[in-house]
Structure 1
Amino acid sequence: MRTALAVTVTAGIVCGVLSCWLVLVGWSLMGDAVSHAVLPGVVLAYVVGAPFALGALVFGLLAVLLIGAVRDTSRVKEDAAIGVVFTTLFALGLVLISVTPSQTDLNHILFGNLLGVSRADLVQVLVLGAVTLAVVVLKRRDLTLYAFDPTHAHAIGLSPRRLGALLLGLLALTVVVALQAVGVVLVVALLITPGATAYLLTDRFSRMLWISPLVAAVCGVVGIYVSYYLDTASGGTVVVALGIAFALAYLFSPRHGLIGSRVAAARRRRRVRV
């Protein structure tokens, strides 16, 4: 349980921070694509006895390169390129799982196995998470400018193409971190839901960078404990907790919530009448 909590909190913080930029740039589908495209890399790493993280990172970067190549060298638009590449690689991973003899359940790659994470996996997650956060902290101003106004970033001497490539590389690395926690299928929830929740709760990006990882970490802890007492799938329960947090923000956020904004508007009208 201690190892599961440490992995979940680490993955939640890293994904929560990167989630802010993915939501602002509009790369939700890209996060989905990369998280699914790493599957064949993980299976091949198992076959040759290499670390899962290495195979996942290689295929995550490969997916990013293939999507960019298809988009830039053909008439196919980015969303179609993403769909073609990630479904093909994900299907390749499923084929490899079906033909790979294994004494372990490779389906844990798909859906996660939080309570089966080893100490070596924990060290790997901590190291990769620290590297990702260090790069984000060092380049946060450039990445923020790229997210809000890439034209202005180019005007002051920054390269939007390089910043985009950096963000995609961080995305691939973050997928490797979260893979240990919730598996391939559910990684996208950790990459998107915390940022989307924070986006509903604040209009300041600096606050968003604190709210998003906090939401991910708290939901991770709550999900682990609920899964323990209800005997449910740990990764799935964590994602359900994230979904509930988003639903609460969607309904009751003071400024952008469906109900909260109407209540605030009614109060303002009442003050005007008084």
Structure 2
Amino acid sequence: MLEALQYDFIQNAIISGILVSIAAGIIGSLVVANKITFLAGGIAHSSYGGIGLAIFLGIPVLFGATVFAVATAMVIAALTIKSRKRIDAIIGIMWAFGMAVGIIFVDLTPGYNVDLMSYLFGSIIAVSHEDIVYLAILDVFIIGAVLLFYKQILAVSYDSEFALLRGINVRFFYTLILILAALSVVGAIKVVGLILVIALLTIPTYLAEMFAKKLSSMMIISAFLATIFTLIGLVISYYFDISSGASIIVVGVAALLISKLLGKK
């Protein structure tokens, strides 16, 4: 593996993997704390509509996916902020709509023959310098937002009714959490793909819950674990010539199972 470090695409893969892991650890903790894992999954798959639209318009894929994912997050937040009784139906509709729109726009794009599997399952070796810049900016934005509004986010995540009584703008911070989740999903597209992104957001967090007693600790531990899983997954992917996204998730699941078994004993 050391000899492979001389290649630019390997260096880009490692850097992007670390950057995505930081975002996944922080946002994954918020997703689990707010019990919106399925909701984040809906945003992830609906962003495929932005990918298809970007391909059709000839604009950067990450930009199209970002705009579409953020718009979806805002719509879902507006529809579910007061009542979550029908949240599953709303998420299912947005999920299906986004995927359908993406497929239609790809079909309408003349002469497009690029393998779309890379967007569904990730292709970390195809990460460009522009993608790394995007991920770096994303991490700075996420860390800045969490540091700036940590107390409010903490209150909304664990007791939104109490937060409302304390005068906290629950609607704003609930929407902010979903937007941050949407941005993280888009950032992870090249690493693990839309299909596996929820696993990257949740597996490290479930493990971190075993060791963390507060949200901030959970974020740090989750980011660290996600980074370890990503690097080990990349090594396995390199030596066995298999999908990097799938390798990363399998490593995470294996670590989770081992930890649960050891915890029971």
TM-score normalized by the length of structure 2: 0.89
Structure 1 segment 1-274 matched on structure 2, within 5 A: 1-68=10-77, 70-71=79-80, 77-100=86-109, 101-253=111-263, 259-260=264-265
Contact 1:70 1:76 in 2 (8 A): no
Describe the superposition over 1:73-115 as per-residue Cα deviations: whole angstroms up to 9, x where unpaired. 9997111111121122123323433443324322211111111
Residues 181 and 205 (structure 1 numbering): CA distance in 2 closer, same or farther, change over 3 Å? same
* Shift of residue 249, structure 1, vs aligned partner: 2.6
Residues 206 and 252 (structure 1 numbering): CA distance in 2 closer, same or farther, change over 3 Å? farther
Residues 124 and 202 (structure 1 numbering): CA distance in 2 closer, same or farther, change over 3 Å? closer
1: CA distance, partners of 2:121 / 2:103: 13
* Shift of residue 39, structure 1, vs aligned partner: 0.5
Aligned residues: 255
Question: SS at 2:20's partner residue?
Answer: helix
Contact 1:63 1:86 in 2 (8 A): no
Query: Which residue type is aligned with residue 21 of structure 2?
Result: G
* Shift of residue 250, structure 1, vs aligned partner: 2.3
Query: Which residue type is aligned with residue 81 of structure 1?
Result: I
2: CA distance, partners of 1:168 / 1:68: 7
Contact 2:126 2:190 in 1 (8 A): no
Please name the residue that 2:4 is paired with. none
Query: Which residue type is aligned with residue 146 of structure 1?
Result: V
Describe the superposition over 1:231-267 as per-residue Cα deviations: whole angstroms up to 9, x where unpaired. 11011101111111221232223xxxxx14xxxxxxx
Query: Which residue type is aligned with residue 170 of structure 1?
Result: L
Contact 1:40 1:59 in 2 (8 A): yes
Describe the superposition over 1:138-185 as per-residue Cα deviations: whole angstroms up to 9, x where unpaired. 112211111112122112211111110110111111112111211111
The structure with the larger Rg is 1
Q: Which runs of 5 or more residues in structure 1 are unaligned?
A: 254-258, 261-274
Residues 244 and 134 (structure 1 numbering): CA distance in 2 closer, same or farther, change over 3 Å? same
Contact 2:200 2:226 in 1 (8 A): yes
Query: Which residue type is aligned with residue 142 of structure 1?
Result: Q
Query: Which residue type is aligned with residue 172 of structure 1?
Result: A
2: CA distance, partners of 1:184 / 1:99: 22
Please name the residue that 1:268 is paired with. none
Query: Which residue type is aligned with residue 229 of structure 1?
Result: Y
Q: Which runs of 5 or more residues in structure 2 are unaligned?
A: 1-9
Residues 205 and 62 (structure 1 numbering): CA distance in 2 closer, same or farther, change over 3 Å? closer
TM-score normalized by the length of structure 1: 0.86
Name whichever of 165-174 and 49-58 sits farther off.
49-58
Question: SS at 1:216's partner residue?
Answer: helix
1: CA distance, partners of 2:81 / 2:158: 23
